[in-house]
């Protein structure tokens, strides 16, 4: 028997949609939403953010300030949910494709990532995405996950927890001695030399929040894939998504994990995993899905789904902050309107200005490669003789918000994004010059 979720709901006496024409609730939301503003100049883009402009924000990659198109969508969905929670949710989650908001979000995401809508899984953060992937892999005792010393806590811990549970092991190698002088061939050589017959997975980060380096993932992936029994490649891509130009589907990652609440400007508490159909089939879900009709129908029949795992089945279910999830589409639409090439070029230009400026200051060492090909929007540096905390606090005294990299060897970071201007960059570089000069 094959009953769809919709048919099951229709068969149920508790569901009475009769009074509403299809799509009425969501059409009302769309009607209330303001159209996407003109984003053709950077002043207009900057004006979308309700930031406190008495500061210069060089840490907005840490957590998004919701731009107006996103907060408008959030407000509209919140109003719809508050107005009629049950009917809004039923329409948005379980009715036909024309009303299905998760499908609408995944379609918008797929337009940006490349690939198809069936390759997109919506999650709550980079951390959750990584955990779902590593917990979902069927690792066994004797298997190894190879990663690097440069990755984030969330990535290392996702691997460690999955390895501990399965009896697999993890190992970290260094990809370079000096992050500011990237050498693709050397990074590939180091990885290739470290891979053993037990290496089932390689975990890497696209843009490092430790040094700002952007790894040549395409070249690395091509080298890994040329091996017999190629290990799977898991990429933490959070600081490349929305700041670098290449499309996710073209990177060569088997699993691409990213929060969308940083560079993409999607609501706080949102993220994605991207993978191809054959990669999804390798995973076992951890959290019951509310979006995979087949899992639900199988459960009604007291069975497990018979088909291979797919992106929908990996999507963590449970009722959530739906307005945040749904408004994700507005953020991706905003990026589409600005244009991915323009976004990447602007970020490269502003961060290039930071690197050029810092490079001229005696006693300042920049850890991020100068080349835009090997970097994106994060610049890390150090001021000789001045501890990281002191650099950040002296910048803050000048109303410049910088961050420290959250690693054992923490360094100051200036990350210019679409909310910044060349004048702000000049002032930030000038402030570092003063700090270095007075130390």
Ligand X SMILES: Cc1ncc(COP(=O)(O)O)c(C=O)c1O
Residues that bind ligand X (CB under 6 A): 125-127, 152, 154, 205, 209, 236, 238-239, 259, 271
- Residue closer to ligand X (CB basis): 252 or 259: 259
Please report which residue ranges of 167-206 form alpha helices under DSSP H: 184-194
Considering the complex, what minimum distance in angstroms separates the CB of residue 347 from ligand X? Answer: 16
Q: Which among 143, 43, 69, 39 has a CA at the least distance from the CA of 327?
A: 69
Describe the chain by its helix, strand, coil percentages, rounded to 5: 45, 15, 45
Q: Is 264 exposed, middle or buried (0-12, 13-18, 19+ CB in 10 A)?
A: buried
Considering the complex, what minimum distance in angstroms separates the CB of residue 415 from ligand X? Answer: 10
- Residue closer to ligand X (CB basis): 209 or 368: 209
Buried b (16+ CB within 10 A) or exposed e, 64-102: bbbbbbbbbbbbbbbebbeeeeebbbbbbbbbeeebbbb
CA–CA separation, 238 and 375 (whole Å):
13
- Residue closer to ligand X (CB basis): 25 or 204: 204
CB 46 within 8 A of CB 65: no
- Residue closer to ligand X (CB basis): 122 or 295: 122
CA–CA separation, 14 and 11 (whole Å):
9
- Residue closer to ligand X (CB basis): 100 or 135: 135
Considering the complex, what minimum distance in angstroms separates the CB of residue 405 from ligand X? Answer: 8
Considering the complex, what minimum distance in angstroms separates the CB of residue 152 from ligand X? Answer: 4
Considering the complex, what minimum distance in angstroms separates the CB of residue 422 from ligand X? Answer: 25
Crossing angle of helices 340-359 and 422-438, rounded to 10°: 20
Considering the complex, what minimum distance in angstroms separates the CB of residue 266 from ligand X? Answer: 11
- Residue closer to ligand X (CB basis): 100 or 126: 126
Considering the complex, what minimum distance in angstroms separates the CB of residue 346 from ligand X? Answer: 21
Element (DSSP H or E) covering residue 126: helix 126-136
- Residue closer to ligand X (CB basis): 259 or 357: 259
CA–CA separation, 401 and 310 (whole Å):
41
């Amino acid at each position: 028997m094959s009953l769809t979720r919709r048919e099951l709901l229709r068969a149920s006496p508790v569901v009475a949609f009769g009074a509403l024409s299809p799509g009425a609730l969501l059409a009302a939301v769309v009607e209330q939403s303001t159209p996407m503003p003109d984003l053709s100049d950077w002043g207009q883009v900057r004006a979308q953010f309700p930031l406190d402009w008495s500061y210069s924000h060089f840490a907005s990659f840490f957590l998004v300030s919701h731009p107006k198109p996103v907060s408008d969508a959030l407000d509209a969905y919140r109003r719809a949910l508050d107005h009629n929670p049950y009917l809004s949710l039923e329409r948005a989650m379980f009715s036909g494709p024309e009303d299905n908001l998760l499908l609408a979000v995944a379609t918008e995401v797929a337009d940006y990532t490349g690939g198809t809508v069936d390759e997109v899984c919506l999650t709550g953060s980079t951390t959750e995405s990584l955990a779902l992937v590593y917990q979902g892999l069927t690792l066994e005792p004797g298997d190894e996950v190879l990663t690097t010393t440069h990755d984030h806590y969330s990535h290392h811990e996702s691997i460690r927890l999955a390895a501990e549970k399965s009896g697999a092991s993890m190992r970290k190698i260094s990809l370079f001695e000096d992050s500011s002088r990237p050498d693709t061939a050397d990074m590939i050589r180091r990885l290739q030399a470290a891979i053993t017959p037990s290496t089932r997975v390689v975990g890497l980060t696209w843009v490092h929040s430790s040094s700002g380096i952007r790894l040549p993932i395409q070249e690395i992936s091509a080298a890994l894939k040329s091996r017999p029994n190629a290990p799977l490649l898991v990429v933490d891509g959070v600081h490349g998504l929305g700041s670098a130009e290449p499309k996710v589907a073209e990177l060569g990652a088997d699993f691409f994990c990213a929060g969308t609440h940083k560079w993409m400007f999607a609501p706080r508490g949102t993220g994605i995993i991207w993978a191809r159909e054959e990669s999804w089939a390798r995973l076992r879900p951890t959290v019951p899905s509310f979006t995979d009709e087949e899992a639900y129908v199988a459960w009604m029949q007291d069975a497990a789904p018979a088909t291979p795992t797919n992106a929908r089945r990996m999507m963590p279910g449970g009722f959530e902050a739906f307005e945040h999830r749904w408004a994700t589409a507005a953020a991706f639409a905003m990026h589409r309107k600005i244009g991915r090439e323009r976004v990447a070029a602007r970020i490269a230009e502003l961060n290039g200005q930071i690197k050029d400026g810092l490079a001229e200051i005696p006693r300042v060492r920049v850890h991020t490669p100068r080349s835009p090909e090997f970097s994106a929007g994060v610049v890390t540096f150090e001021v000789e003789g001045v501890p990281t905390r002191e650099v950040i606090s002296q910048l803050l005294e000048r109303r410049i918000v910088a961050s420290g990299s959250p690693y054992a060897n923490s360094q100051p970071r200036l990350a210019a994004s679409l909310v910044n201007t060349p004048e702000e960059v000049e002032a930030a570089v000038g402030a570092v010059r003063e700090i270095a000069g007075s130390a």
